[in-house]
Amino acid sequence: MTRLLGIHGVRNYKAVDTSPHLGSARLRADWLGALGASAPALDLETAYYADLLRSERQSAELDDDALTLVEQWALAWGIDPSGAQGRATGWLRWICGQVAERTAQRPALVEKSVKLFFPEVTRYFATGRAAVLERVRAAMIRHRPDVVVAHSLGSVVAYETLHELAGELDVQLLLTLGSPLALPNAIFHRLDPDPSKGRGTKPPSVRRWVNIADVGDFVAIPKGELARVFSGVEELPEISIAPVWPHSVLDYLKHPAVTKAIAER
């Protein structure tokens, strides 16, 4: 049986998760359901950290740090953020509209996703990193996975944790889904360990690293950049998981390309 550890991305805090154990159990059930026929062959656990990045102030407005990340995200999409003045709601809406055109998505969906994604990324790098890594590190040491599947921000957490655990684990496959790891300045240049001469490296404890991104996943950008800026990563052809929400981990897990990669670990 393959030991698999799942590491979630943003937007995973639920009020029913009154403890990390309950949050992990809920995610595990969701992931097993999505994996379907593959699930019986897996000893699956999930590392839950959403509560550590939750903001007590639930606001629809992005703070200056998050807006700075949005600027870098826009530049990575080839959009000049000075195309709209200021940093007010209209500025954000204009940028999201430009990205929506490039990905054939609804502008409202892109804007909603940006407001969910970048605040958690900001909190991770500003205040939450140590606590998140400690929890995920403990889950990895406890479960000793053959396969690590990391989605969205979870791919950043997995990358940093696996580098910390160099020599302590033997992970046959790191599978990153909808990963923003290559996003310049906002994420790539803030990684630990620091990229050397413009390149990151496959964690020493990982034998094979495969990255998969939906063709319309506006979080997983720049397209094709992971293989260019990270040594040892294989980029599978872009897939289409869901036209309505192209960043959903459950839709990624249901896709044959993902289940095949896990089965061929």
pLDDT tens digit string along 59-108?
557 888 999 999 999 999 899 988 887 777 789 999 999 998 988 888 99
CATH topology (fold) of 2-55+126-263: Rossmann fold (3.40.50)
Closest CA relative to residue 125, chosen from 84, 162, 156: 156
Which ranges in the chain are annotated with CATH 3.40.50.1820? Answer: 2-55+126-263
User: The whole model's pTM is what?
Assistant: 0.94
- Tens-binned pLDDT, residue by residue, of the chain (265 aa): 999 999 999 989 988 888 999 999 999 999 999 999 888 899 999 999 999 998 765 555 788 899 999 999 999 989 998 888 777 778 999 999 999 898 888 899 899 889 889 999 999 999 999 999 999 999 999 999 999 999 999 999 999 999 999 989 999 999 999 999 999 989 999 999 999 988 999 999 999 999 999 888 888 876 678 888 999 999 987 788 877 778 899 999 999 999 999 998 7
